[in-house]
Structure 1
Amino acid sequence: MQAPAPARLIEGGLPTDALIAQVLVSKYADHLPLYRQAQIFARQGVSLDRSTLADWVGRAAFLLRPVHERLLETLKRSGKLFADETTAPVLDPGRGRTKTGQLWAYARDDRPWGGTDPPGVAYVYAPDRTAGRPIAHLCGFAGVLQVDGYAAYESLARGGAVRLAYCWSHVRRQFYDLAASSPIATEALSRIAVLYRMEAEIRGRSAEERRAARQERSRPVVDALEAWLREKLGLLSRKSNLAEAIRYALSRWAGLSLFLADGRVEIDSNTVERAIRPLALNRKNALFAGSDGGGEHWAVIASLVETCKLVGVEPQAYLADIITRIVEGHPQRHLDDLLPWAYQPTPALKAVA
């Protein structure tokens, strides 16, 4: 008599779900490309081809896709999100070189104003950067979307369900690049710095307290800055870099001022830019994804890993556990139980911890 073998992601294979989770976390959290992981295994006497590891990653990403979809759906039910995008080089075998895909990031973090929804981020891979991508990704979302100055997001606001809040950090960068040779740019930086000092003082307070403080102290600064920028713009050549920086700010002034009237809104979109950094590190080390499918796998696994990090869940234990649960038949109607912020380790994992 022999007990049936436990279900595994790789049927009939040797790798356990814990080993596959280690490969995923090494690749997407610790930024170790698969060829380096293969070298590490080889030094330990384990011969694993890179293509074998890639097959494991693909199978895991396919299995976890419903969890990723539920994560994005849950974030879209929020009243406020951040959005940004970054390049994702993808191998293009037909032409013998890489093409440029995009990883779009949609993040939530209400902790600066004491919101009760847990933070999270969902990445979505797309082969291009057209305006139709965020429209499709955020279908059903209604609320405030905090973004940089990329024009593709403007189409989301046309129906009125989405309000765009723009990023003061991007405005500041325009002037920072010119400050060494321009007193006007230096003065603009000084005025924007006043707003950031104010934000540092009220971080962590309730949304209503933040709104009241901004109305009292930040609004006069913003109103004076707008008038001052319009005055200086009339003195500059229209073709100068400084005039371009001023027009960048003034053309987005309504979105830049939205944080004054809504305490939930941040002064910048640095929250989602921080969520983009791990993608950049992975891109630097791995150079490119093997295909559009590889880009989609990247989005699925990175979303779960980075959300784990935001909510303080250990990603390797999390991935190993939920892979096992899904393989053993976890019901689709209870996918919410597998999201990182709802994750509860099994008793066996708690005992090990």
Structure 2
Amino acid sequence: MRLNSQLKTRYKRPLRLRRKDRLSPHTAEKKAPGSGRRRIRGDIERIEVLHELDEAARACPWCASERPVIGEERSEEVELIPAKVVVKVHVRRKYGPCTCDDFIGHDEPAIVTAPAPAKIAKGSQYANSTAAFIIVSKYVDGLPLYRQEGALQRLGLELGRGTMARMILRVSEELEPLWRRMKEDLRSSPVLGMDETVTQVLHEPERPATSQSRMWVARGFKVGPGSTDPPRPLIWFEYADSRSGDVAASIIGNFSGYLQTDGYSGYNRIGRRPEIVHVGCWAHIRREFYRLVSEQGPSCTAAEMVRLIRKLYQIEKDLRARLAAGDLSREVFVEERKAATAPVFEEIRSWLNHWETKVPPHSPLGSAIAYALGQYRRAIRYVDHWLLTPDNNPVENAIRP
């Protein structure tokens, strides 16, 4: 009884929620981005499965006649059909000599055999599709060979990682002419984007396992002869054991046009060639300012620069949409982009010049301003060609598996 009376005394009035803890009955919980139901693409094969009532359920309980069909309900579900291993047995018919006099009197081959299917890895017991699956799984999906080995074992196929590695090497040797042709097309592109990332190679001859190598990537376009032909992206990967600018020079060769990169000094030498216009990257300029906003809050000084750069991206988004819709020609797109970005560039330049003298040069904000000023002239050049964008992100995204 004593405990009961204490509870009555303590909680004789209903609990009141603090203002920040109150729940609004009209506030719906926000869904995470991408968590909603997505439309299933129309080009995916559809297989109709008819669900029917049994005969007794279709019959009228009074007269036993079948009830009329008045419609149907449809719903879709996505089914993934697991991969399976099959062995194709290629039977090649062989034909012997004809017994006619004309055949015998001429130098015809005595036996003819139907040709075997073309195979990239000649002499291999694995089909082209198997080699393609292994290569895509490793280099596009980032699946190491030892994991592929385990996955194939679960499907009943004993295919060792050493065999897979040799298969990849043989395919790469056969595709080298295509590789060289792609490099020629890349160097003919009007614009190029370049980047590089650290990669580690184990058991490399005469190099310790801790050595940092580089995977270089270049992205260009194969542009059709017509003014409205859509350009086809060309993405080029090349391994090198260093980050030297000589590697970049060897990749682009005799390229002439617009070269877009980050601020790494290794690109400076080729960027100074008279036939190359070196273009900077606004994403790299923005990165340091955005980091300061994340650390210091939206009211810090760096937030104004983030806001100004956001204006450039909004202009790009709006004009790209009109270009894609056919409302602008490529020439008009370039003209309108130059006109729209010019006042924003002026604001950015004025802001950088103003704050350069007011903050310590070695502070985080001072370093961000110094980098932006050093890259400014290059960064504004993207407006000169319709294939260029404010940043080099498409190239960086190509590196990620």
Length-normalised TM-score, structure 2: 0.65
Report SS of the residue matched to 2:368.
helix
* 1:275 equivalent in alignment to 2:398: yes
Given the superposition, is the C-alpha separation of residues 273 and 13 from structure 1 closer, same or farther in structure 2, using an over 3 Å criterion? closer
Offset at 1:149? 1.1
Match of 1:100 among 202, 212, 216: 212
Does the 8 A contact of 1:219 with 1:260 survive in 2? no
The question of 1:186 aligning with 2:297 is answered no
Partner of 2:367: 244
Question: Which residue among 310, 315, 325 is the counterpart of 1:198?
Answer: 315
SS state at 2:301 partner: helix
Match 1:35 to one of 135, 146, 150: 146
Q: Which range moved further: 36-45 or 129-138?
A: 36-45
Residues 284-322 of structure 1: per-residue CA shift (max 9 Å, x gap): xxxxxxxxxxxxxxxxxxxxxxxxxxxxxxxxxxxxxxx
When Rg is computed on C-alpha atoms for both structures, the one with the higher figure is 2
Percent of residue pairs bearing the same amino acid type: 32
Task: Assess if the C-alpha contact under 8 Å between 1:82 and 1:146 holds in 2.
Answer: yes
- Does the 8 Å CA contact 1:109/1:271 hold for their aligned counterparts? no
Contact kept? 1:207, 1:264, Cα under 8 Å? no
- Which string of whole-angstrom CA distances, capped at 9 and with x for unpartnered residues, describes residues 253-283 of structure 1? 11111123443321111111121112xxxxx
Q: Structure 1: which amino acid aligns with 2:317?
A: A
Structure 1 residue 126 and structure 2 residue 240: aligned? yes
| Corresponding residue of 1:218 | 341
| Displacement after TM superposition at 1:212 (Å) | 2.1
Instruction: Give the drift of 1:68.
Output: 1.4
- Corresponding residue number in structure 2 for 1:62: 173
Residue in 1 that maps onto 2:263: 149
Secondary structure of 1:195 counterpart: helix
Which structure shows the bigger proportion of residues in helix conformation? 1
How many angstroms does 1:96 deviate by?
5.9
After superposition, the Cα gap between the structure-2 partners of 1:156 and 1:12, relative to the gap in structure 1 and judged at 3 Å, is: closer
Q: Structure 1 residue aligned with 2:254, among 140, 165, 172?
A: 140
Distance 1:260 1:57, change over 3 A: closer
Q: How far apart are the structure 1 equivalents of 2:229 and 2:302?
A: 36
Deviation at residue 10 of structure 1 after TM alignment: 4.2
- Cα 1:10–1:239, aligned 2, differ >3 Å: closer, same or farther? closer
The within-5 A match list for 1:294-305 is: none
Structure 1 residues 104 and 233: CA distance shift in structure 2, 3 A: same
Cα distance, 1:84 vs structure 2: 0.9
Query: Counterpart of 1:69 in structure 2: which amino acid?
Result: R
Pairwise CA distance, 1:200: 0.8
SS at match of 2:232: coil
- Conserved in 2, the CA contact under 8 Å of 1:110 and 1:264? no
Which ranges of structure 2 fall in alignment gaps of 5 or more residues?
Answer: 1-92, 95-112, 324-328
Q: Which runs of 4+ in 1 moved over 4 A?
A: 4-7, 93-96
Return the letter of the residue paired with 1:175: F
Q: Which amino acid aligns with 1:275?
A: A
2:162 matches 1:51:
yes
Q: 1:56 Cα deviation (Å)?
A: 0.6
The alignment yields a C-alpha RMSD, in angstroms, of 2.2
Correspondent of 2:274 among 153, 160, 166: 160
The answer to whether residue 201 in structure 2 is matched with residue 90 in structure 1 is yes
Give deviations 1:94-132, integer Å, cap 9, x for gaps: 566242211111112589x96643112011111110011
The verdict on how the C-alpha distance between 1:246 and 1:110 changes in structure 2, with shifts beyond 3 A counting, is farther
Deviations 1:130-176 (A, max 9, x none): 01111111111000011111111111122211111111111111101
In structure 1, give the amino acid aligned to 2:232: P
Query: Which residue of 1 is the match for residue 382 of structure 2?
Result: 259
Task: Report the counterpart of residue 42 of structure 2 in structure 1.
Answer: none
Q: Distance in 1 between matches of 2:236 and 2:392?
A: 15
Change (3 A) 1:105 1:115: farther
Q: Give the structure, 1 or 2, with the largest relative contact order (CA under 8 Å, sep 6 or more).
A: 1
Shift of 1:61: 1.2
Give the Å deviation of 1:228. Answer: 1.4
Q: 1:183 to 1:158 in 2, by over 3 A?
A: same
> Within 2, Cα distance between the matches of 1:219 and 1:120?
30
Instruction: Give per-residue Cα distances to partners, 1:213-250, cap 9 Å, x unaligned.
Output: 22322111111211111110100111111111011011
Structure 1 residues 68 and 175: alpha-carbon distance in aligned structure 2, compared to 1, 3 A threshold = same
Structure 2 residue corresponding to 1:171, chosen from 282, 285, 306: 285
Alignment deviations for residues 19-57 of structure 1 (CA, whole Å, 9 cap, x no partner): 212211222222221111111222222222211111111
Aligned amino acid, residue 130 of structure 1: S
Provide closer, same or farther for how the CA distance between residues 213 and 61 of structure 1 changes in structure 2, counting only shifts above 3 A.
same
* Letter of the structure 1 residue corresponding to residue 178 of structure 2: V
Segments of 5+ residues of structure 1 without an aligned counterpart are 279-353
Distance 2:136 2:278 in 1: 34
Q: 1:194 Cα shift?
A: 1.1
